[in-house]
Structure 1
Amino acid sequence: MTDRLDARPTTKIYELEALVRQAWAGNVRIPHFQRDYRWGSQDVSRLFDSILKGYPIGSLLLWIRPAPAGPVRLGALEIEAPAENRALWVVDGQQRLTSLANTLHPDGGEDPRFRLAYDLRERTLSRQAAPDSPWLVPLSVIFDLQRLLQWFAARPEISHLLNEASEVATLIRQFSIPAYQVEHGEVEALQDIFDRMNNYGKPLRRAEVFSALNAGDETADRRLDIQAISEQIDAELRFGRIDDNTVLQAILARRGVDTQRDIRLEFDDHRRRAEVEFPDEDRDAAYGETRSALARAVSFLQHDAGVPHVGMLPYRYLLVVLSRYFAHHPDPVGRDRVLLRRWYWRAALVGTRAWPGGTAGATRKLNTQIRPGDPSGSIQRLLTVTDPAEIALPDGRSFRTNNAATKIMLCGWWALAPRSWTTGAPYEQTDLAATLDGRTTAGQAIAPLFRRGEIDNAKLSWSANQLLLLDSELIEPESVLGGRHPMQSDQQWAETARSHGITVDAAEAVAGGHHTEFLEIRQRTLDDVVASFLRHQCEHRFEDTPPLAEFDLDDEGDNDDS
C-alpha cells in the first residue's frame, strides 16, 4: 500500500477578513513550485462579483508548515515576513487568495489588475478611477472601517449612501471561505497532492509540472529555478524573458537529445542513467549549467547572429538547440562561430516545414547532430541536415509581429542600425529592451505610419507601413514623415530616414502627398534590406568546410630535407 498522510486533512472555515490579514502579516506563503500569478483584471472582477452575490468561490488547500523570515512577494505586494511555526502554504487557491490580498490592500490599486471600486449609485463593481467620483469607493477603502468613515466624512454629499457601503463592507469581511488543511512533514506528499490536483481536469503546463516535481524543501534558501534562469539572463543580457517551456526544453536538451522524455524521471539515477549525458549530476547542477549554456547561446544570437531580443527570435526551438551546442562546446571560435551563424539563419528560413513532427521533431533531429567532444563535426552535421535548397524571403506584404517571417524581417531592420527620430543617434539594444520590457513580441516597438482610410486597406499590413519606434520622447509616426525634428539637422534627418529604409525618392513621394507611391518605394527598399541581410547571414553559396585545424595536413611521404 502507498504511504498515507500522517493525519487526515482537517477542514476550517475562514472569514475573508481574517485570511487577508494573515496574508498581509506574512503568514500566507506561496510554494516556489507554484505557477506564477496569472489572473487579469477581469478575473479579479469576477471573483469579487461572486463574493458580493454570495456565490461560492471554491475551497483552498493549505499546508501547515514552518516558514522562515524574509521577504515574501504576493502579487504586487512585497511583505517582510517574520518566521512562522504554522504558516499557511497555499497548495490550491493561489490566484484567488493573491487577488483578495492585493485588491483589499491600500497599495493594491497601484497595480491596474487590482484597481477595483464599488459604485454606490449603481450598486455594482467598477474599474473606474475614484478621485473625482465620490460614489466610486475603492474596495481597499470599503474593507477598512476607519478609512471608510474618513471617506464619508470628507464627502458629506454622499452621506445617505453610508449604509449601502457598510453592507458591502460586511459582505466582504465576513464572507466565508472553506479550506482543507494538511499537516505533514514530507515535501514529497505535498508535491504528490499538487501533481494530482493539477492533472485532473486542469493540467499544468509541462514546465510547471517539472518545477513542482523538482522543487525541493520549501524551508531551504531559494534554489535556482526555471523562472530565475529566465530572469537572470534577462537582467544580464537584456534579451527579454525566455518563456518557461523554452527554459525547460533547454534543461532537457542539454542532458539528452529527446526533449519529450518523461520529466518525472529526470533526476532518477537508476531509471534515467542510460538516457542522459550527465548521469551523475543533480538537479541544482543541471539548472546551473543550463543557465550558463543559455546565456552563451543568447549572447551568440545577439552578437553573432543579429537577434537582439526574444521579441525578434523567429523560432524558440532553435534557441533550445543552440543551448545544447553551447552546453557541450562552450567556446566556439573563428570559423566555427561563422558556420554556426550560417546554420542558425538557414534553419530559421527552413522553419518547421521540413521536419516531420513539427518543432518537437525538428528539435530532436537537430539535437542528435550535436555530440560531445566534436564541436566542428556537430556544426557540419547541423549544416548538412538543415541546408535549404534556396533562400525563401519573408513576404514583406504581410507584417505580424507574432509571426516568424516578420521577426526575421525585424532582425534585418535592426542590422541597419536604426536611429532615433529625436536625437539622430543609433538606437541601442538597451532602448529596445526597455521598450519591450516584459513582452515576447516586438509589437510595442512598432507603429503604423498610415491608418485605415488614409491608404488602401490592402497596404495597411505591408512592412513599408510600419516604423520601428523606440524614442523615449513621444513621437507620432506621421510627424516623422512631415519633416525633421527640431533637434536634428537636415543631414541627421536624412541619415535617420535611411536607417529606417526611407530613401530620398520615398521622402519626396510622401512630401508630395503620394502615400501609395511612398509605400511602394519603401517596400522595395525594405525587401532589398532583408534580402541583403539574409544573404550575409546565410552565405548560402559559400563553402562550409570546417576550420583547417580539423584537417590532418601531415603527409607521411614528406621529406624534411628536400
Structure 2
Amino acid sequence: MQTNFESFPILTLHEKLDAGQFALPKLQRAFVWNGAKAAKMLDSVYEGMPIGSLTLWDTRKKNRGLLRISTKVLPPYKNHHRRVLFVLDGQQRLSVLHGVRAGGSVQSGRRGELDFGRMVFRVTEEAGPRFQYRNPVEREWISLQDILASNWIERLGGLPRRSFKRAEDCRDRLLAYEVPCVRVETDDIDDARELFIRINSTGTPLGAADRAFARASEFDLRELADQAAEKMPDTFKRIRDEVVLQTLALLEGFEDLGGDAMDKVVATLNERIRAQGPSAIKQFTKTWDLQQKAMHRALDLLRIQFHVLDDGLLPSQYMVATLTVFFFRHARQPQPEQLAQISRWFWSTALGSRYSGSGYRGNILQDSDYFKRLAANGREVFRVTDLIDPTEIRRASYGKRSAIADAFFCLLIAQKPKLLTNATLMQMEYFASNANRRHKHHIFPRNLLTKAGVGPSSLNSILNLCFIPAEENSKFGARPPHRYLLDYCEKRYFPDVMARHLIPHNDEAGIWKKKARAAYYQFLREREERVCEAFEKVAGCRLFRRV
C-alpha cells in the first residue's frame, strides 16, 4: 500500500469530475447531508477554513466491479480510464462541491431531498450568513449554480456593480480553494475496506450498519438494505438499517445485539459463501426475501392492531425486529390466541420501556426466542414479569419522546376519538401523523397552569394532552376546561366524545373545578386511573402495580 499526499483546487476537482475519474465504491454510504450543513461547509471554503481531506483509493481498473451503481450524486465513472479513483472519505463534501455547480436535486437520506439550485450566496451588504439553503431572490440571494457556471458573466449581468463584484469574489474563492487529498494506491480490496472503516473520523460517523456493509466482502449487503428501504411503506421509511441487520442476526440465532451481532452475521455469511459458493448466496437471498416479507407483515400488524400509524409512534424500532421473528416463522396472520399474546407483549414492552435501559439486551433476545416458540405453539403465554408504577404515565413528558408517550398516543388512537364540536370521527391518519403535531393540545391550557403555579414536570405531563384539531382548539383559547366545555356538555353526544378521549367527566371530576391548580392535580390523578384501565383492557392483562 502506497500513500500520497496532494491537494487540488476545486476547479481541478470539477475537471476531474467532468472527466469521470471519480467513483463511489459499493461500501460507501448514501448522501445524507442537508442544505444547512452544505451551506456551512461552503462558508468554510469561502473563508479559507479547513473542511477536511478527501481520501481516494487509487486502484486498477479490474476493481471497477465495486462501483456503486446509480448514485445520482457524482458523475459516473468513465471506463476508458486505466485506473479508478474510489472516494473512501469525503463523499458528502465532494458531492456538495459538484452539486452546487451542476445543480439538480438528489436524495438525502431515506426521506429527504437536497435541491442544489437552492444553495445561494448573498450579494448584498447586510450582516448575517453569506450562504443559505433557500430559494434565490433576485439581486440578493444568487444561486451558486449561476455564480459557478461557465457563462457566469452573462447570467449575472443584471446585478449592480458592487453585487457583481461580490459574486465574482465568491466564485474566485470557491474555485481556487485547495482541497487536501490522500491518495492510497492498493489493489487489495480488504485493505480498502479496512481503510474505509478507520478513516471515517472527519465526516459523518460510521454506524454499526455501515461497518457491517463495508465488511460484507462476498455479497453486496448495502445494496440489499437500500432496496429493502425503498420497499418500506412510506410511513415507515425511517426504520434504521441497524434494525434490519439486527433482525437478520436474530434469525441467524446470534446471542448478541448491535455492532457485535452485525459483525458476526457478516463474518459468518462471508465464510459460508466462500465455502459453499453460489448455493450459499442463493440460500441467503431466499432468507433475506422472507425476512423482508415478514417485516412488512410485522409493520402491518403494528399499524392495524396497535395503531402505530408511522415510525414516529414506534415505542422502539427494535420491536419491529423481534415481531419480525414471529412472522418469519409464521408466514400468515396470527391466530386469535397468538394475537392475544402479541398484544400483551406490545403494551407491556412499550409501557415498561423494556427495549431501553440496562435490561434491553436480555429482553430483546428473550422476546426473539419467545416469538419463535409462539409461532410454533400458538398457546405459548407471554408473561408480564415487571408491573409498572402508574405514576410513570403521569411523569412522562410531552416535550421528550419516550416509549410510554408513544404508547399513550397509540392508545388514544385506538379509542377512535371524535370531534367535540359535532361528534364526527377524527381521521387519525391525518391528525395523529408525526408531521401534524399541531393537533395535540393541552386539556388545561399551559398559560392557565403557569399562572396557577404548576411546575414544569406536571405542566408537561402527557396526561394533559389529547387530539384536538388546531382549528377547534383555537376556539377554546386560554379558557379553563370548566368554561370552554360548557358550550358542549349539554350535547347528547358529549359523554361519548369525552369517553373516547379518556377524559373523566362526571359531575365531581377535576375538569369542572374552578381553582386551576387543585383542579389540574385532581384531573391528573383521575385521568391516570382511566388511562391505566384502558391500557390493561387493550392488553388483556394486568400491567400496573396497585397503589
TM-score normalised per structure 2? 0.74
Q: Distance in 2 between matches of 1:230 and 1:29?
A: 23
1:231-246 → structure 2 map (5 Å cutoff): 231-235=230-234, 238-246=235-243
Q: CA deviation at 1:92?
A: 0.6
The one-letter code sitting in structure 2 at the alignment partner of 1:264 is D
Contact 2:6 2:181 in 1 (8 A): yes
SS in 2 for 1:224: helix
Contact 1:412 1:529 in 2 (8 A): no
Match of 1:351 in 2: 353
Match of 1:395 in 2: 393
Structure 2, unmatched stretches of 5+, are 107-112, 273-278, 486-490
Q: Distance in 2 between matches of 1:373 and 1:335?
A: 10
Contact 2:412 2:501 in 1 (8 A): yes
The one-letter code sitting in structure 2 at the alignment partner of 1:455 is L
Q: Distance in 1 between matches of 2:343 and 2:187?
A: 51
Match of 2:535 in 1: 534
Q: CA deviation at 1:206?
A: 0.8
Superposed CA offset, 1:199-221 (max 9, x none)? 89986211111122227677x9x
Match of 1:121 in 2: 125
SS in 2 for 1:264: helix
Match of 1:553 in 2: none
Superposed CA offset, 1:301-332 (max 9, x none)? 22333433322222333332222222223333
Question: Does 2:471 correspond to 1:475?
Answer: yes
Q: Distance in 1 between matches of 2:156 and 2:397?
A: 51
Q: Distance in 2 between matches of 1:302 and 1:129?
A: 36
Q: CA deviation at 1:370?
A: 4.5
Change (3 A) 1:61 1:423: farther
Q: CA deviation at 1:540?
A: 1.8
Contact 1:233 1:239 in 2 (8 A): yes
Q: Distance in 1 between matches of 2:339 and 2:156?
A: 66
Contact 1:239 1:310 in 2 (8 A): yes
Match of 1:560 in 2: none
Question: Does 2:319 correspond to 1:318?
Answer: yes
- Between 1:413-422 and 1:508-517, the stretch displaced more is 508-517
Change (3 A) 1:101 1:297: same
Question: Does 2:461 correspond to 1:462?
Answer: yes
Change (3 A) 1:31 1:536: farther
Q: CA deviation at 1:334?
A: 2.4
Q: CA deviation at 1:406?
A: 1.0
Q: CA deviation at 1:298?
A: 1.7
Superposed CA offset, 1:173-217 (max 9, x none)? 222223344566665443232123238998621111112222767
Q: Distance in 1 between matches of 2:19 and 2:445?
A: 51
Q: Distance in 2 between matches of 1:464 and 1:531?
A: 11
Change (3 A) 1:420 1:194: farther
Q: Distance in 2 between matches of 1:500 and 1:20?
A: 59
Candidates 94, 101, 112, aligned match of 2:91: 94
Change (3 A) 1:192 1:132: closer
Q: Distance in 1 between matches of 2:15 and 2:348?
A: 57
Matched positions, count: 503
The one-letter code sitting in structure 1 at the alignment partner of 2:434 is L
SS in 1 for 2:49: coil
Percent of pairs identical after alignment?
A: 19
Question: Does 2:149 correspond to 1:140?
Answer: no
Structure 1, unmatched stretches of 5+, are 274-278, 485-489, 543-562
Superposed CA offset, 1:217-243 (max 9, x none)? 77x9x8421x443442223xx345212
Change (3 A) 1:389 1:82: closer
Q: Distance in 1 between matches of 2:105 and 2:269?
A: 49
Q: Distance in 2 between matches of 1:126 and 1:201?
A: 20
Match of 1:211 in 2: 213
Q: Distance in 2 between matches of 1:429 and 1:21?
A: 52
Contact 2:39 2:119 in 1 (8 A): no
Q: CA deviation at 1:399?
A: 2.6
Contact 1:312 1:407 in 2 (8 A): yes
Change (3 A) 1:452 1:399: same
Q: Distance in 2 between matches of 1:201 and 1:81?
A: 23
Q: CA deviation at 1:98?
A: 2.3
SS in 1 for 2:180: strand
Candidates 45, 69, 72, aligned match of 2:39: 45
Q: Distance in 2 between matches of 1:130 and 1:267?
A: 44
SS in 1 for 2:55: strand
Change (3 A) 1:399 1:358: same
1:109-508 → structure 2 map (5 Å cutoff): 111=114, 115-121=119-125, 125-127=130-132, 134-144=139-149, 146-147=151-152, 149-153=154-158, 155=159, 158-181=160-183, 187-198=189-200, 204-214=206-216, 223-225=223-225, 227-235=226-234, 238-260=235-257, 261-268=260-267, 283-331=284-332, 332-352=334-354, 357-371=358-372, 375-376=376-377, 379-380=380-381, 383-384=382-383, 386-389=384-387, 392=390, 394-396=392-394, 398-400=396-398, 401-419=400-418, 426-428=425-427, 430-431=429-430, 435-436=433-434, 446-448=440-442, 453-456=447-450, 457-458=454-455, 460-468=459-467, 475=471, 477-479=473-475, 499-501=500-502
Change (3 A) 1:209 1:520: same
Q: CA deviation at 1:410?
A: 0.7
- Between 1:322-331 and 1:413-422, the stretch displaced more is 413-422
Q: Distance in 1 between matches of 2:314 and 2:201?
A: 31
Contact 2:431 2:467 in 1 (8 A): no
Change (3 A) 1:342 1:126: same
Q: Distance in 2 between matches of 1:496 and 1:33?
A: 54
SS in 2 for 1:127: strand
Q: CA deviation at 1:32?
A: 4.4
Change (3 A) 1:135 1:379: same
Match of 2:110 in 1: none
Q: CA deviation at 1:255?
A: 1.2
Contact 1:13 1:177 in 2 (8 A): yes
SS in 1 for 2:245: helix
The one-letter code sitting in structure 2 at the alignment partner of 1:294 is M
The one-letter code sitting in structure 2 at the alignment partner of 1:388 is D
Q: Distance in 2 between matches of 1:56 and 1:229?
A: 37
Q: Distance in 1 between matches of 2:449 and 2:534?
A: 29
The one-letter code sitting in structure 1 at the alignment partner of 2:528 is D
Change (3 A) 1:188 1:453: same
Superposed CA offset, 1:81-112 (max 9, x none)? 58655565421101212222334444469948
Q: Distance in 2 between matches of 1:17 and 1:270?
A: 44
Q: Distance in 2 between matches of 1:529 and 1:323?
A: 32
The one-letter code sitting in structure 2 at the alignment partner of 1:361 is G
Q: Distance in 2 between matches of 1:410 and 1:171?
A: 52
SS in 2 for 1:72: coil
Q: Distance in 1 between matches of 2:443 and 2:121?
A: 38
Q: CA deviation at 1:349?
A: 3.3
Q: Distance in 2 between matches of 1:303 and 1:452?
A: 33
- Between 1:105-114 and 1:54-63, the stretch displaced more is 105-114
TM-score normalised per structure 1? 0.72
